[in-house]
Amino acid sequence: MVAGPSRVRLAPSLLSADFADLASAVRAAEEGGADAFHLDVMDGHFVPNITFGPALVAAVRRRTRLPLDVHLMVEHPRPFLAAFRAAGADTLVIHLECADPIPETLAAIRATGAQSGLAIRPESPISASFGLLPQVDELMVMGVRPGFGGQSFLPEALPKLAASRAEIDHRALPIELALDGGVTPEVARSAAEHGATFLVCGKSVYGTPDVAGNVRALRDATAGILHAVR
């Protein structure tokens, strides 16, 4: 059932914020009109970088009521799902390329009560995710190689968004289509035109001091682009 048109949602990525002052980072992005927060969990195996675990997610949870989108760049995410959910994650995103069985892990996410997310690395074909879509609440196309904030956008993500949008619409699935990595205002507009409904933005939000203004600039860049939401 079509619920009506909806604007593109923005999720600042705290990876690019000052970890010693996340409370201010959250407040400033909320002031600019952020719709959610994105938290990048890296294990040093799936990606060549290490960030944080459930304790930091819980600390952010205490500072905002907005949804928390937790991106698990983790080789074996399954043993940690319950802890991230208990910490306050609303969506738990695993990678198609991780070493745990994907259908079972997506089912385990939903069993915690969280929304299930599936992220796809740039080198993986998007069609590899299509058979899993009934188990997915958020499909996340990567615009950079996962591991670090502040990288340049890889334009091959755009046809992946378009192909995902066509598949989601054709099958009338209630899936949020996300883009993560390299999102500038210009990329944001293009991604929205290619069907994205959820944009993760790190450097373009936290790379300069006017965080609220940066969120507004991203919002303006996608103004007027509406998607039907089921």
- Residues with catalytic roles: 40, 180
**Contact residues for ligand DX5, defined by CB under 6 A:** 13, 15-16, 38, 40, 71, 144, 146-151, 180-183, 200-204
**Shortest Å, Cβ 219 to ligand DX5:** 15
Q: Which does 183 bind (CB under 5 to 8 A by kind): ligand DX5, Zn ion, none?
A: ligand DX5
Residue at shortest CB range from Zn ion? 71
Q: Which is nearer to ligand DX5, 147 or 169 (CB)?
A: 147
Of 90, 175, 170, which Cα lies nearest the Cα of 132? 175
Residue at shortest CB range from ligand DX5? 202
**Contact residues for Zn ion, defined by CB under 5 A:** 40, 71, 180
For 8-97, list the strands marked E by DSSP.
Answer: 9-12, 37-42, 68-73, 91-95
Tokens encoding 103: 């259908």
**Shortest Å, Cβ 174 to ligand DX5:** 23
Q: Which is nearer to ligand DX5, 111 or 209 (CB)?
A: 209
At residue 38's C-alpha, the angle toward residues 147 and 26, to 5°, is 120
Q: What is the DSSP letter of 223?
A: T
Of 98, 87, 86, 80, which Cα lies nearest the Cα of 63? 87
Q: Any idea how long the chain is?
A: 230
Q: Which does 64 bind (CB under 5 to 8 A by kind): ligand DX5, Zn ion, none?
A: none
Q: Which is nearer to Zn ion, 100 or 138 (CB)?
A: 138
Q: Chain centroid to CA 63: how far?
A: 19
Residue 31, SS3 per DSSP:
helix
